[in-house]
């Protein structure tokens, strides 16, 4: 009875390729997010909006998940406080799980950015002029071929001014939003 052994020579190039395929580095750090206000100044009663932006600075396609609930965190966290002019107001905040958009995971190609606008005053109505500071944090997930499913958390601290509003302009802006 003859026995045959398959032998081959492991080269450093082959080992590097094999390790790259088996233990591919995750894409963390290549997918980033931020929030920013759409304006530096708003009128009292005017809808306040901010933009959430997620960017793929990596070299491969990633898929963003629409649902934010995670076991390690809550979808969106929001806190706001008036800091000026005369006296700082009480801080308010809320955390909620939400869908960042409707539908399937969003394909984000290398170099592309996903952006969505959200109402900053969705939970609280701003009725006084002043300078406001807001902190927003997002917990979500994305997947990639090499990195699998990964968590993404990003936060931004925003500052904006609320100035006295012209009632005619405020009512017109609200009518525009309602359609």
Tokens representing 5?
């052994």
pLDDT tens digit sequence for 64-110: 987 765 555 557 778 888 886 655 666 777 776 666 767 788 899 99
Residue 151: the pLDDT is 86
User: What pLDDT shows up at residue 157?
Assistant: 93
Coil, helix or strand at residue 79: strand
pLDDT surpassing 80 at residue 141: yes
Q: Where are the domains of the chain?
A: 27-178
Round to whole Å and give the CA distance between 69 and 98. 7
Identify the band that residue 4 occupies on the pLDDT scale cut at 50, 70 and 90: very low
Domain 27-178 -> CATH class:
mainly beta
What percent of the chain stands above pLDDT 90? 19
Pick from 46, 49, 22: nearest CA to 35:
49
* Residue 2 pLDDT: 52
Tokens of 179: 């359609």
pLDDT at 84: 66
CA distance 64 to 84: 38
Q: Are 158 and 37 in contact (CB under 8 A)?
A: yes
Mean model confidence pLDDT for the chain: 75
Residue 138, helix vs strand vs coil: strand
Q: Is 152 helix (H, G, I), strand (E, B) or coil?
A: strand
């Amino acid at each position: 009875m003859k026995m045959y052994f398959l032998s081959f020579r492991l080269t450093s190039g082959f080992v590097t390729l094999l390790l790259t395929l088996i233990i591919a580095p995750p894409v963390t750090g290549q997918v980033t997010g931020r929030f920013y206000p759409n304006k530096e100044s708003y009128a009292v009663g005017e809808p306040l909006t901010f933009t959430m932006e997620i960017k793929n600075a990596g070299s491969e396609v990633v898929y963003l998940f629409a649902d934010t609930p995670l076991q390690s965190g809550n979808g969106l966290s929001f806190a706001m406080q008036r800091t000026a002019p005369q006296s700082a107001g009480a801080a308010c905040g809320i955390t909620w799980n939400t869908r960042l958009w409707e539908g399937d995971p969003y394909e984000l190609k290398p170099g592309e950015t996903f952006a969505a606008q959200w109402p900053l005053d969705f939970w609280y109505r701003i009725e006084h002029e002043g300078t406001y500071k807001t902190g927003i944090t997002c917990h979500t997930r994305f997947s990639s071929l090499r990195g699998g499913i990964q968590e993404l958390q990003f936060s931004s601290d925003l500052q904006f001014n609320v100035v006295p509003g012209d009632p005619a302009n405020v009512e017109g802006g609200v009518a525009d939003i309602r359609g």
